[in-house]
Structure 1
Amino acid sequence: MITFCARPAEYPIAMPDQAFKTGPTVNRRAPKSLMWRKVIVFSLALVLAAWATTEMYYVLNVSGVTVLEKVLLGVFSLNISWIAYAFVSSTIGFLAAMAGLFAASKSTTSNATQMIAGRTVVVFPIYNEDVERVFATVESTAESLANAPGRFECFILSDTNDPEIALREEAAFERLRSRMTPGTLVHYRRRTMNLHRKAGNIRDFITRWGGRYDYMIVFDADSFMERDTLIELARRMDASPATGLIQTIPQLVGGRTLFARTQQFAAALYGPVLGSGLAWWAQNEGNFWGHNAILRISALANAAGLPEIPGRAPFGGSILSHDFVEAALLRRAGWNVQIAPKLGGSYEQGPPSIIDLSIRDRRWCQGNMQHMAVLLKTRGLTFTSRMHLIIGIFSYLASPLWLLFITVGMLLSLQNMFLTPAYFGETAALFPSWPVIDSERSLHLFTATMAILFAPKLYGLIYGLASPRWRRTVGPAKTAMGVVAETLISVLLAPVMMVEQTTAVYRVFTGRDGGWNPQARESNEYTLSDTFRHHAPAIVLGVVLTVSAFAISPIFAAWLAPATIGMLLAATLSYWTGRTKSGEFALRMNLLESPEERDPPQSYLDSVASRPAYQDLPAPSLASLFSDRNLRNRRTHVVDTHWPLAHSEVHAPLAIARARANRVSTIGEYITALEPKEKLALLNSPGDLDAVIDQYDARALDFATGTT
């Protein structure tokens, strides 16, 4: 007999909202981080940024600094500070990653036979996802843990609000139940009300079943994790009672388009360098990226219940980038938040195209901009946690700042060409103060800036050439060719992404909610007209900048070409890099190969192998449910009928669905009249669904017997 059920008995624990202005409740057991590491990173970054800003000042201050030049200098100082931090962190990360390559022990596990004391649940938060892919991953993950040295369960946490996908999920769960090894525990819950999005999904689980488990490993819908990695994460939590969260550094896998394979190559080669740098200076005050991590449930419940930000979206409301804030609140309460750069076996799948990445980025951008309010309102956050939030904010503000830098620089050049100067100072002077720059110093500064900008790619190349795994699977020549190809592609796409992220920031600051759309996991193969329509702003900006640059001089146009060419070709590049054929072409040319592509992880292979079992699922339609009571009875044990409503509160879609039954005479008309939200509400309330059907059956009986 298979010990398998839709949901176990509830074991609730409280997860109260954390007040922004309440001071920290410190866990005294938590060891401190080494402050000198942070001092080194940020001091070196500030020194480098100060030097570059000073050089820029001397570049501009040949005959006095004008107002526009002061603006240019200010924007440059912000941009170079961001680049300087990335350079210093990646330099330290490179040294740490290289030291790791030559370390004596490279094993990701400690004691494979030691029993894990804590009970671990692997949760799969999903939202209108491809059922075939998700349930195949759940099956392969659960099966891999069947004989693990500890107690592991899997729990699918659905927030799906598409009624057709909801019915497919129920059918997939039935299929999953029939395929599992006896003794394997997998549960399924679909929320009746999608309150507070993903953070609310997790919170609903904790407040209803959190007391059943000690640790929670969070997957994303496109996550894959090796069995040994899952076990090691639980074992590390067992061994460290002061640790509240351990974040792995996921590698990308399964990319098929050129864009996805480029990201996959970059993550595999540069990711260990960047991740090692972040882990080195953050230490016990790391960050959380929302998935591929393990959390101590009691710590999360007691310290990281997220309040709403006052005001409307996009700045107010539910916190979209909840993960950064949860990590900060955990650390505020004294829990260790660790990043594990040397722990392999953690994977995810990246967006297949620029358009899909941009759709996801709108939500992330909005969430990161909300962190401004978190920084202003929240007391007790550590310096490191605040730096994580600031870094997240600047990861999006950097794009509009660079665009502003280009724009101001062009305005200065156009002013020199066409406008009458009016740069007389307060004292009497015979000639105006013309905006002149030091060309030689400017060239030196440009060279230095490019050097620190591209240094992480050089570090990645050296790391790849030194790594035994890269040498064994990809080889030195293909690694070097891949770096060249990735650099060229990233240079072309960087201006396009700059416009995309600038647009996302603009949308937030003009009050437009980015929403919460399901993420594309496979290539959508957008048409050329789709890509031209999406990238019209980038193309128009590229035309304006190109015309303005040629108006100044052909030399200036050539200097700006690395930015403008990418903008002008935005639609073509997006269309070409987002197609599977382009990825296959690169593969035939032996470009952008990564170890994960040559030697795919077992967790990914097992998931792909399980997908055919979930194709052609016999999912019932709403109409078939109305006509077949047996179908309705079969799904009652799957449906979660928990409605988080106040005593006198009414769920509007469900109430409207009930009311429509009084307005429409036949079941066919009734189903056609229902809105998707109303259909879902009926699916989530079997009792109301039966009541509506009984109402129509009673009408039919009255009509047949002549009763009025």
Structure 2
Amino acid sequence: MSLAEPHLTVPIARPRWHGPRALAATLAVALTLGIVLAFAFSIAAWTPAALGALPLVALTAMWISGGAATALLGLIRPAEPSPTPPETWRPASRTAILVTICKEEPQPLATHLDALRAGLIRAGLGAATEVFVLSDTQGPDLVEVEEAAFRPLHAAGRLTYRRRPRNTGRKPGNIAEWVGRHGSAFDHMLVLDADSRMTPRRIRHMIAQMERRGDLGLLQAGIALRPGETRFGRHQRVAARLLSRGFGPGFAAWTGDSGNYWGHNAIIRIAAFRAATALPLLPGKAPWGGSILSHDFIEAAWIRRAGWAVALDPATGGSAEEAPQKLHAFHARDRRWCQGNLQHLRLIAEPGLSPISRLHLVMGVVSYLVAPVWLVLVALMAFGGVPLVGLLPLAMVAAVLLLPKLCALAGWWRSARTSRRRRIVLRATIGELATSSVIAPLVMLRQAMAVFAVCLGRDCGWKTGHGPRFSLLPGFAEAMGGWALVGAAVVISGPSALWLAPLALPLCLAPVIVRVLDAPA
């Protein structure tokens, strides 16, 4: 295929529901039914509130069951590593490594890219790759510092630095503009964010997979997290390392050639990107209209619609990113993702999409809707609107929530050959479970608030700050919500409200929890 050869758009065949996909669907349906039936059998009286709660329970059950089924599938069917190219192999294609940057600290990135370029040359990829820094940074002071970091490397031919005077379309617009100007000189583009890291060896492996499969339009790499600087950052890294071992292979198995895109650490065929056409601009005003914030899901769906395969290479070796190190930064990013994912409601019915691509969009929406749904269910049960007898529903929910963690433990346990390593794995799993259990109510409340904010028409856009103008003690908003929930539940339900403790206690202690987690590791 020549560099500029187009790929004809072809209809997407309906996915075949057999093998890993059928197994994942069967597991998810079985777990969902188990939760719904446990809830239904525990209803003491079918009040209107109980009838209304049943579909809400089904929605949340489907969400957590899907995650558990994916983890189980990954445990049952571990991913087979793709063939490693021999040391003498050299790419026949050309790949542009695109690093997008906007107001990030430039010097550490410049140092890293200089070392990356040297590593690419040592790996035999010098002639087959070229590094581009695509900047959307604005402001004279920031621009001056950024240019001072990258211009010497640009002048020395180590990379190409380009800053747009107007950041039209944000990151997707920057990449599309680069494709229009330079894409004809390359077969592939490897997209990285400023905090992304990929080793030359992993890049070499990704290019080889693209050359091996001419139908592959996008290949997403699994992503590990870089070492954390805070306790919260360290927790995220441990959780990602533990859970990705089963979840990544399971996700790759059932999505097949209709995978997803996470916005970076992925290689894209230029012809596939061009065939997918430009991202739509949603009619109306933000938060529901305007530019699509979560553009990566849409780009994957559009590439798949154009007839190209979209796949996940779930291995995380040589591929990493930096996670938010403090809870307030995590919530700010999550708020933007919430708005972007809810925008997908307007695109789910787009003609020609693969059914699995539609499912990715639905899953992205539901991932945020479950937070207010959980909140409503908790309120209904705490205030006596849904009279439950026994703890069977809660036990079923807890079991399904624990399944991905148990699958991760089982996967790591069988690969840990010594008792010392198994003790480390067990200690890490218990620590991750305890920390995530404490953090979950805080995240649930924040996500519910984010959904309500979008429904009320509040736009967060790409701004770094979109909260209230007055400053509260970190965790104070969650604490107020927790104490309000406890007070109302005790007044209405009395001692029976004690079952709320696992949810309410972390909320009430949120200021202390946030302070502990934000402290240096």
TM-score by length of 1: 0.69
Q: Secondary structure at the match of 1:286?
A: coil
C-alpha contact 1:371 1:389 (8 A) present in aligned 2: yes
Q: CA deviation at 1:113?
A: 1.6
2:414 is aligned with 1:466: yes
Letter paired with 1:477: R
Does residue 35 in structure 1 map to residue 12 in structure 2? no
Shift of 1:436: 5.0
Decide which of 144, 151, 157 is 2:134's aligned counterpart: 157
Residue type at the aligned position of 2:215: A
From the superposition, tell whether residues 484 and 51 of structure 1 become closer, same or farther in structure 2 (CA, over 3 Å): closer
Which residue matches 1:48? 31
TM-superposed deviation, 1:551:
2.3
> 1:87 corresponds to which letter in structure 2?
A
Are the structure 2 counterparts of residues 400 and 187 from structure 1 closer, same or farther at C-alpha, using a change threshold of 3 Å? same
The one-letter code matched in structure 1 to 2:512 is: T
The AA in structure 2 aligned to 1:285 is S
SS of the counterpart of 1:449?
helix
Paired with 2:14 and 2:210, the residues of 1 have a C-alpha distance of 18
Aligned residue in 2 for 1:73: 54
In 1, the alpha carbon distance for the partners of 2:23 and 2:308 equals 24
Give per-residue Cα distances to partners, 1:282-321, cap 9 Å, x unaligned: 0111000000010001110121421211111111111111
What is the rounded CA distance, in whole Å, between the counterparts of 2:11 and 2:358 in structure 1?
19
Q: State the distance in 1 between where 2:387 and 2:459 align.
A: 44
Residue 194 of structure 2 corresponds to residue 246 of structure 1: no
Select which of 289, 297, 309 maps to 2:262.
289
Alignment of structure 1 residues 302-341 onto 2, 5 Å: 302-341=275-314
- In structure 1, the residue matched to 2:516 is 576
Residue 37 of structure 2 is aligned to residue 25 of structure 1: no
Q: 2:144 aligns with which of 164, 167, 181?
A: 167
Mapping 1:377-396, distance limit 5 Å: 378-396=350-368
Cα 1:534/1:204, change in 2 over 3 Å: farther
Question: Is residue 352 from structure 1 mapped to residue 336 from structure 2 by the alignment?
Answer: no
Distance in structure 2 (CA, Å) of the matches to 1:306 and 1:14 = 21
Structure 1 distance, partners of 2:406, 2:316, is 23
1:495–1:108: structure 2 CA closer, same or farther, 3 Å change rule?
farther
Q: What residue number does 2:440 align with?
A: 494
2:479 alignment partner in structure 1: 539
Q: 1:343 to 1:482 in 2, by over 3 A?
A: closer
Kindly indicate whether the alpha-carbon contact (under 8 Å) linking 2:31 and 2:400 is maintained by their aligned counterparts in 1.
no
Instruction: Go from structure 1 to structure 2 and tell me whether the alpha carbon gap of 1:114 and 1:301 turns closer, same or farther (over 3 Å shift).
Output: same
| Partner residue, 2:118 | 143
Q: CA deviation at 1:387?
A: 0.7
Partner-residue secondary structure (3-state), 1:412: coil
1:454-603 counterparts in 2 under 5 A?
454-468=402-416, 475-517=421-463, 532-552=472-492, 555-580=495-520, 583=521
Q: CA deviation at 1:43?
A: 3.6
1:471–1:111 Cα change, 3 Å: farther
Query: Given the superposition, is the C-alpha separation of residues 137 and 518 from structure 1 closer, same or farther in structure 2, using an over 3 Å criterion?
Result: farther
Which residue is 1:626 aligned to? Answer: none
* Secondary structure of the corresponding residue to residue 475 of structure 1: helix
Q: 1:13 to 1:203 in 2, by over 3 A?
A: farther
Q: Which residue of 2 aligns with 1:598?
A: none
Superposition deviation, residue 81 in structure 1: 1.3
1:655-696 Cα deviation digits (max 9, x unpaired):
xxxxxxxxxxxxxxxxxxxxxxxxxxxxxxxxxxxxxxxxxx
Tell me the alpha carbon deviations over residues 246-297 of structure 1, each in whole angstroms, 9 at most, x when there is no partner: 0011001121100010000011111121111110100111000000010001
Quick one: distance in 2 between partners of 1:400 and 1:89? 24
Q: Secondary structure at the match of 1:351?
A: coil
- Cα contact 1:13–1:209 (8 A) shared by 2: no
Distance 1:129 1:511 in 2: 29
Superimposed CA distance per residue, residues 421-458 of structure 1 (whole angstroms, 9 cap, x where no aligned partner): xxxxxxxxxxxxxx754x2xx42232222111111111
SS class of match (1:133)? helix
Structure number with larger C-alpha Rg = 1
Quick check: 1:374 aligned with 2:347? yes
Structure 1 match to 2:200: 227
Mapping 1:261-300, distance limit 5 Å: 261-300=234-273
2:381 alignment counterpart = 409
Q: Aligned partners of 1:509, 1:534: CA distance in 2, in Å?
A: 25
| Equivalent-residue separation in structure 1 for 2:381 and 2:173 (angstroms) | 45
1:123 equivalent in structure 2: 98
Question: Counterpart amino acid of 2:395?
Answer: T
- Residue of structure 2 in register with 1:82 after alignment: 63
Question: Is there any run of 5+ residues in structure 2 with no aligned partner, and where?
Answer: none
Structure 1: runs of 5+ lacking an equivalent: 1-11, 16-23, 414-434, 520-528, 584-708
1:471 and 1:130 map into 2 onto residues whose CA distance is: 42
8 A contact 1:465–1:471 mirrored in 2: no
Q: Does 1:342 align with 2:315?
A: yes
Aligned counterpart in structure 2 of residue 114 of structure 1, from 89, 109, 122: 89
Partner amino acid for 2:392?
Answer: H
CA RMSD of aligned residues (A): 2.5
Q: Percent identity?
A: 33
